[in-house]
Structure 1
Amino acid sequence: MPKKQKKNTRGNIITAAWQLFYEQGYENTTVDEIIVAANTSKGSFYHYFNGKDALLSTLAYLFDEKYEELEETMDSSMDSYEKLLFLNQELFTMIENSISIELLARLLSTQLVTRGEKSLLDRSRLYYRLLSKIIMEGQTAEELRTDISVGEIVKAYAICERAFMYDWCISGGEYSLRSYSQRMLPIFLSDFRKLKSE
């Protein structure tokens, strides 16, 4: 039980912080406001984070919360290819609706310059575990190619998603991230599908 409480406290801080970042901007949000919104103490905040900047890399945590929710509601009748497209569309919808371009750009830039842990590449994240599970199931069901490893397909998919997000940020959101991905990701993923004649 104490471990779950720890996770909830950290999660509450992250959720409150990103909600405030979205509503009033990163620069205009203070640590004190985050503490109040998370209904926690200053001691608890600094136990998990050494300051506001440390929260930038936690966007991956919010993404994983979304994936956890999606895993529970995903239609089990979809094939692996459809599941991958579904996850992408839902994530990119969330990004467009609740994460500002400036915040996403900050996250991507911190990942480029950090010497420590890169949260977007953390293979222990739910994101990577869920993708691996879907792709493994797809290979077993002969929906996806087996001449490319699960790990390589996961890596290619993750690179493609990050590329879409990066381009959307540097383009200043001049197009819909979700709509662009909806058109282009199926073309990218089609190469991983097992041909019917095989």
Structure 2
Amino acid sequence: MKKEPTPRQRQALEMRAKIQSAALTLFNREGFENVSVEEIAQTVGCSVGNIYHYFKSKDELAIRVTQMVDEAYTDLEQSYLASAVPGREKLLDFVGRSLEISARDEMLYKAFIHGLRYPEQAVLKKNDTRVYFRLLRELVDICQKEGSIHPSYDPDALVEDLVVLHRGTLFEWRIYQEGFDVAKQGRRMAAALLRGWQTPPAET
């Protein structure tokens, strides 16, 4: 049975989260290279030594946010790949669940909307090491193989469209939070995209 954290451990977790959130906000607003550890400490309201107690460097702060985003989707990736459910249903479910993940965690919301302006450790850089993008690409590939997405579409372009849908839906949710079902809205819009992707793209 998992033990509940002690008050001291809970306080440490809260401080780490506070530092990460403040750092991410500053990185997004000012650019990674322009933010100092002193500025992060001032924003948090703690000493520079306290920052270094939790993180060895500013780089580690950025890397840890990247890892947080990946961890949020790793379990989903494993469950979808093991499931026999049709790819279309997996993709729609992932759109809804990934929106819920971004909406319920302030730091993941910031990370998804903005990313980090940091060339080596972009929070949601589109490559095979980022779980979110990798899983989207895997689900699109499954849909193309089963026929729910026409094979003539460029899968990378479809992933980009789905990311735009995710960000746009999050923006709408941020404006109209009360009564706005972010997962339901995301699935509805993704279903509309999928209907269009069943037929070959029109020639231009």
Alignment TM class, shorter chain as reference:
0.5 to 0.7
3-state DSSP of counterpart to 2:56? helix
Q: Partner residue of 2:142? A: 137
**2:26 is the counterpart of 1:20:** no
Matches within 5 A, 1:169-180: 169=174, 171=175, 173-174=177-178, 175-180=180-185
Q: 1:71, 1:82 → 2: CA distance?
A: 14
Which protein shows a greater Rg? 2
TM-score with structure 2 setting the length? 0.61
Matched-pair contact (CA < 8 Å) for 2:96–2:182: no
**Among 157, 162, 182, which residue is 2:167 paired with?**
162
- For residue 61 of structure 1, report the CA deviation from its aligned partner: 3.4
- For residue 166 of structure 1, report the CA deviation from its aligned partner: 2.7
**2:121 is the counterpart of 1:120:** no
Gaps of 5+ in 1: 1-15, 36-40
- The alignment covers a number of residue pairs equal to 163
Q: Pick closer, same or farther for the CA change 1:82–1:180 going to 2, 3 Å.
A: same
**2:83 is the counterpart of 1:73:** no
Matches within 5 A, 1:183-198: 183-193=188-198
Amino acid at match of 1:120: L
Q: Pick closer, same or farther for the CA change 1:63–1:17 going to 2, 3 Å.
A: farther
Q: Pick closer, same or farther for the CA change 1:167–1:115 going to 2, 3 Å.
A: farther
Matched-pair contact (CA < 8 Å) for 1:96–1:178: no
Matches within 5 A, 1:16-95: 16=13, 20-21=17-18, 26=22, 42=53, 45-47=55-57, 49-50=58-59, 54=62, 58=65, 61-74=67-80, 76-95=83-102
- For residue 66 of structure 1, report the CA deviation from its aligned partner: 2.5
- For residue 194 of structure 1, report the CA deviation from its aligned partner: 5.4
Q: 2:92, 2:16 → 1: CA distance?
A: 26
Q: 2:87, 2:150 → 1: CA distance?
A: 11
Matched-pair contact (CA < 8 Å) for 1:111–1:118: yes
RMSD over equivalenced CA pairs, Å: 3.8
3-state DSSP of counterpart to 2:55? helix
Percent identity, please.
18
3-state DSSP of counterpart to 2:186? helix
Could you list the structure 1 runs, at least 4 aligned residues long, displaced by more than 6 angstroms after superposition. none
